[in-house]
Amino acid sequence: MVYLKVFLVGGLLCAIAQLLIDKTKMTPARILVTYVVGGAVLSAVGLYDKIADFAKAGATVPLIGFGHLLAKGARSAVENEGLIGALTGGLTASAGGISAAIVFGYIFALLFNSKPDHK
């Protein structure tokens, strides 16, 4: 049953993004930013934890999960370090994931050569 919830919520988020791409003039970059900000807003009003408890990875893996992680890190750092934590907390909380993305991206760039599209 957990897998079904994960798939439905994650799939719904992807379907909403695809509809935004197809039916509006929003660029994919703006949609990504909207999802990250949406996750931070849902975290700030206390709804994100309820969604994540229901959907597990279906809510934490997509971009709204990254927004929640940034907001949660900033909130925690403000409690521990004061106002400067608002600037450093999100980066500290997300450093592991960002570092992994950079390292794995570099490794795959070394292993696989892209080929130019010749038409």
Q: Which pTM value belongs to this model?
A: 0.80
Backbone angles phi and psi of 57, in degrees to 5: -65, -20
pLDDT digits (tens, 9 = 90+) for 19-33: 999 999 999 999 999
The answer to whether 3 and 55 are in contact (CB under 8 A) is: no
List Cα–Cα distances, 116 to 113, 119, in angstroms. Answer: 10, 9
Kindly report, residue by residue over 33-60, the tens digit of the pLDDT.
999 999 999 999 999 999 999 999 988 8
